[in-house]
Amino acid sequence: MADPMRIRAQAAGDKATVRVLMAHEMESGQRKDSAGKNIPAWYISEVTASLNGKVVMTAEWGPSVSKNPFLEFAIKGAKAGDKVAISWIDNKGDKRSDEVAVS
């Protein structure tokens, strides 16, 4: 199973800014190993964000996103104590989901 994500969700006024750091190799598929063979692409392909169980954002990523991806966005109307869950799926079908409370 993948390493946990680090998620920070901070309420400020009428929204909460969410910052996520995901642990993933994000192999672009362009690199070659020492034998000269292409290292196959392995990257997070879909991301979902939910507020208190309701999906508020979905994203599709390609191999250009950096290793250990960082993501920042803001959820309107989120307040302290609300639950923010982030989940991702990669192109091999591996997945990860983590949740925090807005602070």
Of 7, 4, 27, 1, nearest to 70 (Cα)?
7
Q: State the minimum distance, in angstroms, from the CB of residue 36 to other proteins.
A: 18
Residue 89 CB, shortest distance to other proteins, in Å, is 7
CB closer to other proteins out of 65 and 102 = 65
**Distance, CA of 51 to CA of 84 (rounded, Å):** 5
Q: What residues numbered 53-82 form the site for other proteins, per CB under 8 A?
A: 54-67, 69-77
Q: Which is nearer to other proteins, 36 or 93 (CB)?
A: 93
Number of residues interacting with other proteins: please give it, by CB under 8 A: 34
Q: Does 86 bind other proteins (CB under 8 A)?
A: no
Find the part of the chain contacting other proteins (CB under 8 A) among 3-11, 23-31, 32-40.
Answer: 23-31
C-beta separation of 11 from 4 below 8 A: no
Between CA 94 and CA 99 the distance in angstroms is 18
Largest interatomic CA distance in the chain: 54
Rounded to whole angstroms, the Cα distance separating 3 from 57 reads 22
| Footprint of other proteins (CB under 8 A) | 15, 26, 28, 30, 45-46, 48-49, 51, 54-67, 69-77, 89, 93
